[in-house]
Amino acid sequence: MKMTVSMLSGAPRVSRSLGGILIDSGLLKPEDAERVLLMQKENNLRFGDAAIRMGLLSEADIQYALSRQFAYAYLRKSSDEKKPVSDELVAAYEPFSPRVEQLRAIRSQLMLRWFDKADQRQVLTVVGTERGEGRSYLAANLAVVFSQLGERTLLVDADLRYPRQHELFLLENKVGFSTVLSGRSREDAIVRIPDLAGLCVLPAGPVPPNPLELLNRLNFDEFMIQVKASFDVIIIDTPALSVGEDAAMIAVRTGAALAVARSAQTRVAAFTDLVQGLMNAGVCVVGSVLNEVPAAKAKKAAK
C-alpha cells in the first residue's frame, strides 16, 4: 500500500497587521479601521486598545486576532447553526480556559516523556477499559493542542466498533481507517481540518464486521510507516477494552499508550490489569489521565 500525504510544515507563519486580520474576519469595517488608526496615533495607543476604547471591538475580538497573528489557531463560537467542529472540542473554542490549560499540561508531559521525531517516537495510542471514559474527547482535544503548538498532527479514529471522531469534527464517515486497512482507499481518506492549521483527521470509516482481523493485516504497519514520514504527532483513538482486544493490539504495534480512566466509573482492578498487561507486552505506558475528578476530591487533594 502506498500513501502520500502533503502537509504544510506546521502552522502558517502570519506577519499581517492586526487591523487587516480583523477586517478579513469581519470583525472590523475598513472605514472603522481608519478611525482606529487615527485615534491610535493621536493618543499613542496600541491598535487593539484604541479599538476597545472606541467601543468597536471587545477584548475577545483582539485576543482572536492576536492568535491569528501569532499562528495560534482557534475558533470563535457563534450563534450560527453550522459550526466547523463540535462544541466538545474545547481546545478549539476555549483555548484560554482552565480545561484547556490542563490539556496543555498533559501535552507538555507527553512532549517530555515520549514524542521525539528524531527517535521515531511519534505515535501514541489512547486506551481505556470501559466505554464512556472520555478517550475520544481526550484524543481529539490533544490533537488540537498539538497542532496549535505547530506540530503536524494526525488524529486516527481506530475505534472500528463505536467511532466518534467524525462526529466531533463533523466529517463524513464513508471512507476512513477501515477502508485504508482493507485496501479500498489511500490518502484521500485523510481529511485536513482547514480551520485548525496543521491538523488532519482520519475518521474510522464504515464499521466492519471484522475489526480485529483488519487491524492484524500488514496494511496497518505500512500505513504507520507512511504517516510517520509526514506527521510529527500521531494520536490514535481506540475502543474500550471491554468490547474487544483492539486497543491492546494497536498499543503493542505502536509501542506507546496513554491510559484513560473516569472518576466514579472506571474500576480500579480493571484499569490496573490494563496497564500491567500493556507493560508486560512491552508497551511504554507514557502516563494516565483521570477524567472528571469531583470538586470535593480536587479541593481536598490541593490542601
Total Cβ atoms within 10 A of residue 105: 11
Cell match 474500576: residue? 267
Tell whether the model's pLDDT for residue 126 goes beyond 50.
yes
State mean pLDDT over 181-205.
Answer: 89
* Cα four-point dihedral sign 276, 281, 286, 290: negative
Indicate if the pLDDT at residue 297 is higher than 80: no
Burial of 101 (0-12, 13-18, 19+ CB in 10 A): exposed
Element (H, E) at 298: helix 295-302
pTM for the structure as a whole: 0.77
Q: Is the pLDDT of residue 277 over 90?
A: yes
- pLDDT above 60 (res 7): no
Percentage above 70 pLDDT, the chain? 84
Averaged over 186-212, what is the pLDDT?
Answer: 90
Phi, psi for residue 297 in degrees, rounded to 5:
-70, -40
**Separation of first and last alpha carbons in the chain:** 55
Are 182 and 213 a contacting pair, CB within 8 Å?
Answer: no
56-68 average pLDDT score: 72
Query: Which of 5-19, 23-37, 68-82 is the most confident on average?
Result: 23-37
**Which pLDDT score is estimated for 13?**
43
Average pLDDT over residues 218-232: 92
Quick: pLDDT tens for 27-55: 788 888 888 888 888 888 888 888 888 88
Instruction: Give the model's pLDDT for residue 294.
Output: 52
The candidate with the shortest Cα–Cα distance to 238, out of 204, 269, 289, 210, is 204
Q: What is the pLDDT of residue 293?
A: 58
Under the banding of pLDDT at 50, 70 and 90, the label for residue 110 is: very high
Question: Per-residue pLDDT for 4 more than 50?
Answer: no
Sign of CA dihedral 129, 135, 136, 139: negative
CA dihedral 36, 42, 46, 52 (to 10 degrees): -50
Lowest mean pLDDT among 12-16, 259-263, 284-288: 12-16
What is the structure's pLDDT at 200?
A: 96
Q: What is the pLDDT of residue 176?
A: 95
Average pLDDT over residues 222-233: 93
The answer to whether 157 and 177 have CB atoms below 8 angstroms apart is yes
pLDDT, mean over the chain: 85
3-state secondary structure of 214: helix
Sequence-distant contacts of 99-108: CB under 8 A, at least 24 apart? 100/141, 100/145, 103/141, 103/142, 103/145, 104/145, 106/142, 106/287, 106/289, 107/142, 107/145, 107/146, 107/149
Let me know if 69 is exposed, middle or buried by CB neighbors in 10 A (0-12, 13-18, 19+).
Answer: middle
Task: Note whether 260 and 135 are within 8 A (CB).
Answer: yes
Q: Amino acid identity, residue 33?
A: A
Rounded mean pLDDT, 140-150: 93
Residue 165's closest CA among 88, 244, 251?
88
Q: Are 189 and 175 in contact (CB under 8 A)?
A: yes
pLDDT for the residue numbered 81: 61
Q: Which residue has the cell 494520536?
A: 235
What pLDDT was estimated at residue 203?
97
**CB-based contacts of 231, cutoff 8 Å, min separation 6:** 5, 7, 122, 152, 153, 154, 200
What residues pair up with 128 in beta bridges, in sequence order?
A: 260
